[in-house]
Structure 1
Amino acid sequence: MSATAGSAVPAVEGGAPSRGRSVVAALAVTQTIGYGVLYYAFSVFLAPMARDLRATSAQVAAALTLSVLIAALCAPLVGRWLDARGGRALMTAGSLLGTGAVLAWSRVESLPQLYAAFAAIGVACSMVLYEAAFAVIVSIFAGDERGRANGLLALTVVAGFASSIFLPLTGLLVDRHGWRTALVLLALIYGVAAIPLHAFVVRRRTVTGRAEASAAAEERAGIVEEATRGRPFWLLVIAFTASGGAVAVMAVLLITYLIHLGHSPVLAAALAGLLGVLSVTGRVIITGLRTRLPAALIAAVIFALQGVAAMLLPLIGHTVTGAIGAVLLFGLGFGIASVTLPHLLVERYGTAAYASLAGRIAVFSVSDKALAPLGAVALAQAAGYGWVMGAVSAACAMAAFALLAYHRL
């Protein structure tokens, strides 16, 4: 463990750790609605937007890619803010921006307007979604490893059902009211829930004197500088960037590939729907095993199993049993990064600069989540889906080897 792990931690969000449960509960609500409205709902709007804007599906889908890339670019700045000032003001402002951006999205009449709205949504996502929420929870439970693990698990388990809730809800709203009115209603749902919860439940950092604030800033800068010069940090970057890209590719292309293998669209959609449920299962498993085994080693094994699943899918996926087996094996690792990376960062570097370090990793990992599916589509068109599954398997293997190397340091 690095010497910085024992560094003094700043004052926690809300002061008293007893507030932790209420903050976790509030963030579970805002993350579920936030991911549902700001991310997952987009797929339901894709076809009607393309029709009304007289654009291709690819041109419209580029808006979501732009949003994710902007969120990645904003991550380091957001991380520094969270470490220095806490989450209350940032997440409240992000909720206001997200609500306004979705309302603007409902009024777009051209692709440039759509891209502008999604640029704003990308900034909002960086301020209010997982990376910010994780930083708040890490700060609350700065000295309580068990509380932190349980808080992160509870948050991700609840928010893991965002797509299950908001995809059908959005489809119903679009069917009954049209896509523009549906967006207005979703913006109101998000704003009414997220703005007050972020403003009144997520607390600001305890105010310190100017000298204390300056000393804390110097400490954070020192931790970040030492971390980014060391091999362990970059092994984490490699592991979670490679894993994130592999997961993003499977999330986008799995249904299409299963249909390509000869399965019906209904069965393909049902199998892909298992990924959300399995992501919750994987998070519960890794949180439980972490009391007995090192987190990096557990995650490395699961990433390796995902690589095996991706490699086997072209070989056994033509049968229903084979497809189910491969999807189940891959799905167990679908959501473990969200609970593993915070633990590894805090374990090695402490909590004082957690958000700054997580933000730097997010530049790579979130960007890869946005770009990897585009590369996979191009590879599938040029060489076939078998090569895509090979690339996914290689990425999972890279993630596993990086974490094994990290574990040995």
Structure 2
Amino acid sequence: MHRLRDLVLGPGRAVSVLSFTEILAWGILIYPPVLTMPALTADHGWSLAFGMAGFSIGLVVSGILAPTVGHLIDRHGGNIVMSAGALAGALGLVLLTVAEQRPAYLACWLLIGVAMSSTLYDPAFATLTRIFGTSARRQITFVTFAGGFASTVGWPATHVLLEHLGWRGAYLAFAAVLAFVVAPLNAFALPRTVAVAPLPAVGSDAIVLPAAPMRAEGRPFILLAAAFALHAFILSGVTSNLLAMLERSGMSAATVVAIGTLFGPAQVAARLADFMLAGRTHPLWIARGAVALMAFAFAMLSFAGASPPVAALFAIAFGAANGVMTIARGALPLLMFGPVGYGRVIGRIARPALFIQALAPFVVASAVERFSDRTVLEIGILGALMALGCFLAIRPPRPAPG
């Protein structure tokens, strides 16, 4: 009864609110372009590459703003920042429906990039850490568990809206959801409880660090940022070309789509397992295990060949690994660097990852055109092994003596 009351009236309602708004934010800002872009670009007479360039610009803007957004959440809370981001996204989507010229179209994605930087996982993690402090890992796990259903909601909803309203109607409907559902929930339903003392004024030395955390600088920080950037490269670059590669290997389109649907459930299952075991396994070992599993999955597909059973096993393994990597991205910086200033730290970690996420599909696609489909798998193996090397080189801080 106490837990239920906390989820409705206490600080625990942050988990309920963010679980819901993250599904909507991811389902509106990240997943629709793959379905809406063909119609949008055909309507304007533009190339698909130019249309997707707008999406890439949004990711780059998100990376540029990530540390600033995190710092603002540290100081003022997610209520203000995440609700303002949702409104910026709504405005960007509305303007997208009336932007007829290329510069105006790209400018709309600047606003959508602002929304990406302030409504997706990283600002949600910063908000949870501000509310729950060093105990936020379990809350982060639960929110990512719920967020795993974003594609389950986003793609079918986009498909239905495109069929009945066209791409403009779909984006107007999404804008309405951001403005009248996501923004009010973030503004008024998120608790304003602060578990971590606000950041001191600039120039002050009065920072009390819990459990002897590391400073967010130097070798440990660089290794961590590099590892998550390599994961972003694999996730964005390799997977964006993988399904097409499987189809070129001789599988039917229906088989390839069926294999692709295994990614989401595998992510959710892995996050659920972590949720049940949260606190018992160090997130650094979770990250190491995840990228090792990725390397194994790519090697298996490369050496055994792209048959449907092997490809299905790959999808399950890769999906599970990516599912817990998302949790590690929120929990590991918290454990290493502490909750004070966490929002800015996670924003700094996210910046290179978002830049690479924006560029990776084009880099990998160019490699495929110049070399072969097998290059996709080899790049995946190499990237995962490099990320594993980074995680292995990190030594977590020792707990403060009791």
For 2:234, which of 221, 238, 246 is the aligned residue? 246
* CA root-mean-square deviation: 2.7
Tell me what 1:6 maps to: none
Letter aligned with residue 327 of structure 2: V
| DSSP 3-state at the match of 1:332 | helix
Does the CA contact (< 8 Å) of 2:13 and 2:191 recur in 1? no
CA distance in 2, matches of 1:231, 1:18: 42
CA distance in 1, matches of 2:203, 2:144: 30
Q: What's the CA shift string for 1:122-153, capped at 9, x where partnerless?
A: 0111111111111111111114x2xx233112
Does the CA contact (< 8 Å) of 1:94 and 1:124 recur in 2? yes
Tell me what 1:167 maps to: 155
Q: Tell me if 1:55 matches 2:46.
A: yes
> Per-residue deviation at 1:214?
2.2
> Per-residue deviation at 1:331?
1.7
Does the CA contact (< 8 Å) of 2:298 and 2:377 recur in 1? yes
Tell me what 1:262 maps to: 250
Superposition map of 1:233-312 within 5 A? 233-289=221-277, 291-312=279-300
Q: Give the alignment's TM-score, normalised by structure 2.
A: 0.90
Give the 3 Å change call, closer, same or farther, for CA 113–213 of structure 1 in structure 2. Answer: same
Give the percent of matched residue pairs that are identical in Structure 1 and Structure 2: 26
Does the CA contact (< 8 Å) of 1:248 and 1:369 recur in 2? yes
Tell me what 2:114 maps to: 123
> Per-residue deviation at 1:165?
0.9
Q: How many residues align?
A: 389
CA distance in 2, matches of 1:408, 1:137: 22
| DSSP 3-state at the match of 2:381 | helix
Q: What's the CA shift string for 1:318-348, capped at 9, x where partnerless?
A: 3221111222222211222221122222212
Give the 3 Å change call, closer, same or farther, for CA 371–133 of structure 1 in structure 2. Answer: same
> Per-residue deviation at 1:25?
0.9
Give the 3 Å change call, closer, same or farther, for CA 191–396 of structure 1 in structure 2. Answer: same
For 1:214, which of 185, 190, 201 is the aligned residue? 201
Structure 2 alignment gaps of length 5 or more:
1-6, 398-402
Tell me what 1:350 maps to: 338
Worse-matched range after superposition: 351-360 or 288-297: 288-297
For 2:377, which of 389, 392, 396 is the aligned residue? 389
CA distance in 1, matches of 2:85, 2:382: 37
For 2:29, which of 38, 52, 72 is the aligned residue? 38
> Per-residue deviation at 1:352?
0.7
Tell me what 2:178 maps to: 190
Letter aligned with residue 87 of structure 1: G
Does the CA contact (< 8 Å) of 1:261 and 1:318 recur in 2? yes
Tell me what 2:325 maps to: 337
Superposition map of 1:63-142 within 5 A? 63-142=54-133
Does the CA contact (< 8 Å) of 1:149 and 1:287 recur in 2? no
Does the CA contact (< 8 Å) of 2:15 and 2:142 recur in 1? yes
Q: What's the CA shift string for 1:67-108, capped at 9, x where partnerless?
A: 011100101111111112211111121111111111111212
Q: What's the CA shift string for 1:231-259, capped at 9, x where partnerless?
A: 21111112111112111223311210110
Q: Give the alignment's TM-score, normalised by structure 1.
A: 0.88
Give the 3 Å change call, closer, same or farther, for CA 243–221 of structure 1 in structure 2. Answer: farther
Does the CA contact (< 8 Å) of 2:197 and 2:340 recur in 1? no
Give the 3 Å change call, closer, same or farther, for CA 29–17 of structure 1 in structure 2. Answer: closer
